[in-house]
């Protein structure tokens, strides 16, 4: 049913397709819509489609396959759902012969979607999963992917294919932009409940990829350091208190969560930073002088920035500099 020629994959030609399929009237009660084996689309909104079918009829019949005592859907999940919503009892459908193999079914399911519109990342993942599940030879997988308009790089396929294995809540987060493809791949290493909790957090805070990755690392390191379950940490009272504070906007909540986690992960560093900030406050440097410590006090180089517009202003800063140099508390921070 699928042949190869000159090293390139070939889909069944129209004349051979006609031998594999026949048009017939099917009772909707005999169609199993729960079998999602060949479902590619992520769009569940059928309102516009139902209105179109009601006005114009079912222009493009779904493709079904007779299996045992029922019909499974190869393509046309939304069309069948729309017809059911309209109250139809039967439809015209293209029915594949029972002996049509799973590989051919997969190819038609993917083609029916990819040749009509651009696929989103989850739909591409589902397509790759169908290819790998029904075609063992990786070279043929790549050739079919190319014919179907899918990315045809082996490493890319392996990564994208993993997306459809994620829980639906996480897939939805990818589609609505709450998390990126890269973050979704990172969530694969967690148990399902943990991944979903992280997605809920990111969706609430609306933070970017780098900040999401930073929070994931902080949560992981704290859980490991304190020997507590990661999910328990995600749902601790202190974290929930910040997230549920109605007086904070999402930017403030994101900043508070990060500060809380950093203080818990690096208590000595945060304590040192707090002491240094209090010291700088007592020096009363004003807007013209900035005393900047090394990041996280991991280095030994401090920076002193002066702003002035004239020689007179520079001279006025001399007393401030003298106070900085003579300050005994500051000497405790500086190396000998």
CA 136, distance to chain mean position in Å, is: 28
In 3-state terms, what secondary structure has residue 304? strand
Of 49, 63, 176, whose CA–CA distance to 122 is shortest? 176
Query: Domain count of the chain?
Result: 3
Does residue 106 share a domain with residue 242? Answer: no
- Taking a C-beta distance cutoff of 8 angstroms, is the pair 107, 144 a contact? yes
Does residue 236 share a domain with residue 102? Answer: no
Does residue 96 share a domain with residue 147? Answer: yes
Strand partners, 304: 291
| Predicted structure pTM score | 0.71
pLDDT score for 125: 92
- Residue 70 domain boundaries: 3-164
Does residue 120 share a domain with residue 171? Answer: no
Does residue 138 share a domain with residue 257? Answer: no
Does residue 146 share a domain with residue 16? Answer: yes
pLDDT score for 137: 87
pLDDT score for 16: 60
Does residue 92 share a domain with residue 34? Answer: yes
Last residue of a domain, one of 265, 297, 323: 265
Q: How far apart (Å, rounded) are the C-alpha atoms in residues 144 and 241?
A: 51
Q: How far apart (Å, rounded) are the C-alpha atoms in residues 312 and 314?
A: 5
Does residue 303 share a domain with residue 252? Answer: no
- pLDDT tens-place string over residues 15-25: 465 677 789 99
**222 HSE (CA, 13 A, CB side):** 21
pLDDT score for 136: 86
44: which 2 tokens? 């569940």
Q: How far apart (Å, rounded) are the C-alpha atoms in residues 240 and 265?
A: 18
Does residue 172 share a domain with residue 159? Answer: no
Does residue 203 share a domain with residue 154? Answer: no
pLDDT score for 1: 39
How far are the Cα atoms of 230, 280, 315, 323 from residue 307, in angstroms, in the given order?
A: 47, 17, 12, 17
Parts of the chain with a pLDDT under 50: 1-9, 13-15
Last residue of a domain, one of 217, 235, 265: 265
CA 169, distance to chain mean position in Å, is: 10
Does residue 251 share a domain with residue 195? Answer: yes
Last residue of a domain, one of 217, 236, 265: 265
Q: How far apart (Å, rounded) are the C-alpha atoms in residues 320 and 256?
A: 33
């Amino acid at each position: 049913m699928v042949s190869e020629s000159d090293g390139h994959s070939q889909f069944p030609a129209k004349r051979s397709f006609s031998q594999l399929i026949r048009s017939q009237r099917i009772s909707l009660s005999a169609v199993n819509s729960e079998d999602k084996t060949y479902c590619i689309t992520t769009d569940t909104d059928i309102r516009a489609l139902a209105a179109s079918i009601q006005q114009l009829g079912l222009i493009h019949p779904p493709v079904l396959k007779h299996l045992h005592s029922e019909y499974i859907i190869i393509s046309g999940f939304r069309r069948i759902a729309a017809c059911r919503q309209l109250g139809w009892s039967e439809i015209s459908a293209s029915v594949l012969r029972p002996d049509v193999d799973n590989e051919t079914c997969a190819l038609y399911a993917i083609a029916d979607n990819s040749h009509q519109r651009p696929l989103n990342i989850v739909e591409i993942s589902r397509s790759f999963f169908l290819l790998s599940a029904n075609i063992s030879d990786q070279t043929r997988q790549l050739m079919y992917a190319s014919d179907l308009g899918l990315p045809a790089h082996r490493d890319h396929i392996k990564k994208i294919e993993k997306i459809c294995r994620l829980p639906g809540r996480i897939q939805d987060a990818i589609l609505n932009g709450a998390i990126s493809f890269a973050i979704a791949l990172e969530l694969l290493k967690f148990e399902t409940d943990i991944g979903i909790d992280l997605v809920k957090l990111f969706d609430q805070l609306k933070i970017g990829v780098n900040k999401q990755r930073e929070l994931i690392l902080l949560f992981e390191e704290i859980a490991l350091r304190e020997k507590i379950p990661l999910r328990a940490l995600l749902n601790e009272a202190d974290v929930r208190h910040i997230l549920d504070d109605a007086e904070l906007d999402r930017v403030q909540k994101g900043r508070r969560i990060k500060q809380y986690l950093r203080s818990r992960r690096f208590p000595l560093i945060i304590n040192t930073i707090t002491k240094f900030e209090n010291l700088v406050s007592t020096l009363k440097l004003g807007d013209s002088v900035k005393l900047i410590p090394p990041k996280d006090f991991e280095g030994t180089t401090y920076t002193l920035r002066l702003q002035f517009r004239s020689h007179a202003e520079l001279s006025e800063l001399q007393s401030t500099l003298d106070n900085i140099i003579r300050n005994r508390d500051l000497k405790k921070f500086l190396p000998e």
